[in-house]
Structure formats: C-alpha cells, structure tokens
Amino acid sequence: MFDYSKLFDLTGKKALVVGAGSGIGEAAALGLAAHGAHVICGDLNVDGAQKVVDAIKSAGGSGEALAFDLRDGEAVAKIVGDMKDLDVLVSTPAINVRKKLLDMSEEEFDRVLSLNLKGTFRLITAAGRNMKERGKGSIIAFASIRAQTVEPGQGVYAATKAGVLQMCRTLAAELGQYGVRVNAIGPGVVDTPLTAPIAANKEWYSAYANKSALGRWAKPHEMAGAVVYLASDAGSFATGTLTIVDGGWTAVDGRFTPPL
C-alpha cells in the first residue's frame, strides 16, 4: 500500500536551487530543506546564499552555498554537468526592464532575454542531460503569470516567461520516457527584490494588491509549497504543467496601466 505520509518527503534527495540568495529562490531552498533535501544554494551573491545555508543548518537541515552565474554558459555546463546525482533543479533568476515596446532598446531586449530565457535554457538542459542518464529527476523553472497575461511595459519580460513555459513543456515531452519530470511555476505579484521598484510606488503597489482575488501581494514563502509539491512524490504524475500561484490574479478581470 502506498505510504501517503511520505508524499512530500525529500529525505536523501539532492537539490540545486539557482537564485537561492534571496526572494523566491531563498524560499524554495528553505522549503526543500525543511522536507529533508540536501540543498545546494547557488547564487551570484554568494554571501546571500551562505546566509540561506546558515538558516537551513540552524533548522537542522543540510545545505551548501555555491557561486553561480547563469550568464556564464561554460560555467553552468561544468557545474551542473558534474552534479551526476542531482534529483531536483529549481531555476528562479530573472530580470525585467519595464518599458513600452516602442521605447525598448535592443541592448535592453538582449539583456532580458540573455538571463531569463537563454540562462534558463542552459540550466534546464544541463540538468536534463544528467537526469536522463539516471532515469529520474524533477526540473522546476519559474515562469510567471506574464507567460499568459500581459500589461503595458511587460512585453519583453512576458515573452521570455512564455518562452520558459514552452521550453519546460517541450523538455517534459522529450524526457518523460526517461522518468524525468519538467514543470513551470507561474507566480503572481510577489514581494521580492525584483518587484521592489513597484512596491516603492504606493498607487502601483495598491493596484496590484487589489487586482488579485485575495487583495494582497504574495510573500516568497507562499511559493515554496508548489516547489516542494513538484519536487516530491506528491507531484509524481505532474509534468509539462504550469502551476499558477497568483492569488486569483488571472481569474479576476481588470487592468492597471503602470506609470512607465
């Protein structure tokens, strides 16, 4: 008989969380560690990653910090390629340039695509090669509600997140026969360093809060449940999906035009 008490148990699993130094990545790392995983906290900000590791260890968990630059293709291939026993990958890094498309420069366009889309591609394919060889694993990439719905000033960011979603779906189709699951998570508005410029504008902040059914922003820890679900046996039949965690944002009509 299946042991339902171990649905979310990650004991003995090794997870790499990229972007673990703050925000959603930090929450993902803490959530995975709390359920038994050994978590490698990768981030460009190694000091931030180490603070998360310290928090994991102080709670009785297991983890280590790792300098990780998603923009360095050779380093990503080498670091992830050497992780032959990786069970779970979580990719969270992203940047945004909030401008109308007619005002967006090619340099800004390339900068957003280079990290959000190309960086994610490097990461999930490097992990996918190892997991294919092992015949198991879970890859989780953070997309966004912007993969499905847009607003003025979010065109390039939305395009990258739609691309992340479609890459995850394609990789899920390609690796399913090898026992590897690939999924995306679509957060709504979350209080993180990425959204700090919005939070600083009271009108903008309130408009976003009121847009969702719950009438507020999410906290980073509210994204951890979806990560643990998709990483664990609880999500063993979930692949190629977009798990929306948006407080009802995409279910509620209405729009706010931000002060670009």
- Decide if 157 is catalytic: yes
Among left, alpha and beta (phi > 0; psi -120 to 50; other), residue 132 is alpha
CB 140 within 8 A of CB 185: yes
Question: In terms of DSSP bridges, do strands 137-142 and 38-43 run parallel, antiparallel, or are they unpaired?
Answer: unpaired
Rounded Cα distance, 228 and 205, in Å: 28
Output 154-158 pairs: Cβ under 8 A, ≥24 positions apart.
154/96, 154/98, 155/100, 155/101, 155/104, 156/97, 156/101, 156/104, 156/108, 156/109, 156/112, 156/113, 157/94, 157/96, 157/97, 157/98, 157/112, 157/116
The three-state secondary structure class of 67 is strand
Contact 172, 183 (CB under 8 A): yes
Helices and strands (DSSP H and E) totals, the chain? 9, 7
CA distance 41 to 45: 10
From first CA to last CA, the distance across the chain in angstroms is: 57
Token reading at 246: 């948006």
User: Which of 4, 157, 178, 229 is flagged as catalytic?
Assistant: 157
- Which residues carry out catalysis? 157
